[in-house]
A and B are shown apart, each in its own frame.
Chain A
Amino acid sequence: DADVTQTPRNRITKTGKRIMLECSQTKGHDRMYWYRQDPGLGLRLIYYSFDVKDINKGEISDGYSVSRQAQAKFSLSLESAIPNQTALYFCATSDARPSYNEQFFGPGTRLTVL
C-alpha cells in the first residue's frame, strides 16, 4: 500500500467552484506539505504544516487554504477555482529526523479548471 495517498487523482472543474484535494499518510510523519507543479517551473510550495496545530504559508498561498485534520491528513482547498490554478498538485511528508529531511511524495492530483 502507498504511504502517501492523494484523492482524487484527476479532477476537472469549472471556474468559481470550490474544490478540496485530500492527502493521507501512513508514515507517521509530523510534517506535511502541498506543492503545485507547472511545466518548467518545478514544484512550488503552497502551504506546509509541521504538526497538527501548525499551518504556514508557502511561496504561492494566495487562492488556497489548508486544513490539518489529524497527523495523517492534510487537505488543500481552492475556495473559488480559476483557470490558472490548473496544475499538478503534490502532497509530501517528512520526519523531523533525519537531518537531511527527505520528503516523500504522493502520486499527485491533476486538476483542470475550465
Chain B
Amino acid sequence: GEDVEQSLFLSVREGDSSVINCTYTDSSSTYLYWYKQEPGAGLQLLTYIFSNMDMKQDQRLTVLLNKKDKHLSLRIADTQTGDSAIYFCAENNNAGNMLTFGGGTRLMVKP
C-alpha cells in the first residue's frame, strides 16, 4: 500500500536554511506536494513537483525529487519565524486523484 513518511520535528534558527525530508512508496505518483498548516488553520498548498522533474525552485523554496530512492525534500532558504508551521508531504494516487499525506513535520524557527 501507499505510505508517506516524514520526521516529526525540526528546529532551526531564523536566517538558517531548513530542509524537510519525506519518503514515499507509490512509484506511480504523478505529482508530489508540500502543504503548509499554520496554527488553527487548514492546509494550504505550498508547492508541488511533477514526477518527471528532479528539482523545482520557487523564491525561497526548493523542492528536490529523487525518484530512484523515492525521496522528496523541501528546502526553505533564509527561514523566518513566519515559516513556523507543520509541513505535510503528499503524493497523488493516479487512480482517482487521491492524496496520501505524511504525518507532518513541525518546523519551529527560533529568533
Contacts and interface: CB of A to CB of B under 8 A. Distances in A.
Interface of A: 4, 31, 40-45, 48, 56, 58, 90, 92, 94, 99-103, 105-108
Contacts, number: 50
Given A100-B31, A107-B41, 6 more contacts: A40-B8, A43-B43, A92-B43, A102-B45, A107-B40, A108-B42
Interface of B: 4, 8, 30-31, 40-45, 48, 50, 88, 92, 96-99, 101-104
5 contacts: A31-B97, A40-B103, A43-B88, A106-B42, A108-B40
A48 B31 CA distance: 19
Contacts of B40: 107-108
From B41, B45, B92, B97, residue with most partner A Cβ within 10 Å: B97
Contacts of B8: 40
Contact of A105 (B30, B43, B48): B43
A92 B4 CA distance: 20
Contacts of B101: 42-44
Contact of A100 (B4, B42, B44, B50): B50
A44 B48 CA distance: 19
